[in-house]
Amino acid sequence: MNKTIKLEDLGNKDYKETWDYQEQLFKGIVETKVKNRREDANLTTNNYFLFVEHPHVYTLGKSGDFSNLLLNEEQLTEKGASFYKINRGGDITYHGPGQIVGYPILDLENFFTDIHKYLRLLEEMIILTLAEYGLKAERSDGETGVWLDVGTPFARKICALGVRASRWVTMHGFALNVNADLGYFDNIIPCGIRGKAVTSLNVELGKKEVDTNEVKEKLLKHFSDLFEASFK
């Protein structure tokens, strides 16, 4: 079992280009697994973890409702945003500057074969990271992602999750609002959930800007602990 993960920080990169790159890595892992089964080979499968920041973009999961996007094509152009219907789970979400997006592309057979556990560990990574900033983040029953003040009228989402898995290989991942422009969330019904607010780490800490590299380091530390993995 290969628990080493190749880390790549793609910087600011177009959503579609990144999606295509994810698909390329995903396909490579799947092809290795198919070869192992067909030819009784014993080839090692690779694991990847991509960090990226996207220009303004709205993405709709395969089970999502298009009506949760509150902009037409012309308004999207005015906002400088793009839109894609994609092959992850979940509904609509926003990505943009000031947000840390992470795409773990893992062969879960190197770790454990349980998608529910995989999602819960991604959430736990976020919860532990936010705890280092003095924030009590939680899960919300029936709603994937990470929230603050769950069960109160002030509940607000700080991290969205949406993944795809096939043959125990994962893609897509999480989007943590660190220094995000929250106004862009006003143009959607986030994850199809009405009446819930969205927040960002800098807002919660009362800071103009939080050091994203510091946040990434904390995320990787907790990810490696939770998945008993190492990065290269």
What pLDDT, on the 0 to 100 scale, is given for residue 113? 97
**144-201 pLDDT per residue, tens:** 899 999 999 999 999 999 999 999 999 999 999 999 999 999 888 765 555 578 999 9
Q: Is 160 annotated as a binding residue?
A: yes
CATH number at residue 27: 3.30.930.10
What pLDDT, on the 0 to 100 scale, is given for residue 142? 84
Q: Cα separations (Å) of 129 from 43, 60, 138, 199?
A: 34, 27, 12, 16
What range does the domain containing 144 cover?
4-231
Return the residue matching tokens 């939680």. Answer: 138
Q: Which uninterrupted H or E stretch holds 123?
A: helix 115-131
Q: What is the mean pLDDT of residues 132-139?
A: 97
Whether 159 sits among the annotated catalytic residues: the reply is no
Whether 37 contacts 61, CB under 8 Å = no
Q: How many domains does the chain have?
A: 1
What pLDDT, on the 0 to 100 scale, is given for residue 75? 92
Q: How many CB atoms lie within 10 A of CB 170?
A: 25
Whether 184 contacts 91, CB under 8 Å = no
What pLDDT, on the 0 to 100 scale, is given for residue 91? 81
Q: What is the mean pLDDT of residues 114-143?
A: 96
Check pLDDT > 80 for residue 12: yes
Q: Is 98 annotated as a binding residue?
A: no
Q: pTM here? A: 0.94
Q: What is the DSSP letter of 208?
A: S
Parallel/antiparallel/unpaired status of strands 82-85 and 57-60: parallel
Which residue type does 42 have?
Answer: N
Q: How far apart are CA 146 and CA 171, in angstroms?
A: 19
**63-103 pLDDT per residue, tens:** 788 888 999 889 999 999 999 998 887 788 899 999 999 99
What pLDDT, on the 0 to 100 scale, is given for residue 143? 83
What pLDDT, on the 0 to 100 scale, is given for residue 31? 96
Q: Is 137 annotated as a binding residue?
A: no
Residue tagged active-site, from 191, 201, 210, 220:
191
Q: How far apart are CA 107 and CA 44, in angstroms?
A: 10
Q: Is 144 annotated as a binding residue?
A: no
